[in-house]
Amino acid sequence: MANHIVFLSLVALTLCHLAFAFEPSPLQDFCVADSTTSARVNGLACKNPMNVQEDDFFFSGLNIMGNTSNPVGSKVTPVTVAQLPGLNTLGISMVRIDYAPWGINPPHTHPRAAEILTVLEGSVQVGFVTSNPENRLISKVLQKGDVYVFPVGLVHFQRNVGYGNAVAIAALSSQNPGVITIANAVFGSNPPIAADLLAKAFQVETSLVDQLQSKF
């Protein structure tokens, strides 16, 4: 009997986990983010539906090329709930990514979203790494029209391997996917992680960690 209850509890827990692992389903047609309220909820509070306008569901400008004049040679233009309040509670968002020749979108992860990316222009090498212990790199070169998926949470990257500029559009399964850029999180945290700790973690001299920390 006790075993039976434990088993049922486990099943219930598993189902709860499945149901709530990602963004909850909307309980109404829409919940346009209200940027004026101080109410704190998981996501953003809803604007009064009577005050909702067509522009709450609208964003313009993904035709505009991002400025890739930066050390990595890429630029992400986001359309998340911060830019498009109508995305609140819908569990989706979009980005445009521009790449200068040989520009990279450095290794990063989205804590709350899987990502599906399509190349609109150019040749883009994409890759992601599976979790421990395999840490297998799965990588491919994409051409215009090709689509790739980065599973939720996994570290991934892109690199323009063509001659001209490259452009991609990606959709993400969160209104607010979040981005953790590995180098910035590890070497650019504020305050910094102790250099001797990172030296041991990366099995290198502390001076190399100092150098990396000075860059991020």
Out of 51, 69, 132, 135, the residue judged to bind ligand NAG by CB under 6 A:
69
Contact between 143 and ligand NAG (CB under 6 A)?
A: no
Contact present, 166 and 143 (Cβ < 8 Å) = no
Of 64 and 182, which has the nearer Cβ to ligand NAG? 64
Contact between 14 and ligand NAG (CB under 6 A)?
A: no
Closest approach, Cβ 181 to ligand NAG, in A, equals 18
Binding-site positions for Mn(2+) read 108, 110, 115, 156
Out of 14, 37, 53, 67, the residue judged to bind ligand NAG by CB under 6 A:
67
Closest approach, Cβ 192 to ligand NAG, in A, equals 25
Torsion angle of the four alpha carbons 84, 75, 116, 56, in this order, in degrees rounded to the nearest 10? 10
How many residues line the site for ligand NAG (CB under 6 A)?
A: 2
CB neighbour class for 213 (10 Å; exposed up to 12, middle 13-18, buried from 19): middle
d(CA 146, CA 143): 6
Tokens of 36: 């004026």
Phi-psi region of 77 (alpha: psi -120 to 50; beta: other; left: phi over 0): beta
Which residue's CB atom is positioned nearest to ligand NAG?
Answer: 67
d(CA 34, CA 81): 11
Of 67 and 207, which has the nearer Cβ to ligand NAG? 67
Contact between 51 and ligand NAG (CB under 6 A)?
A: no
State the residues that interact with ligand NAG by CB under 6 A: 67, 69
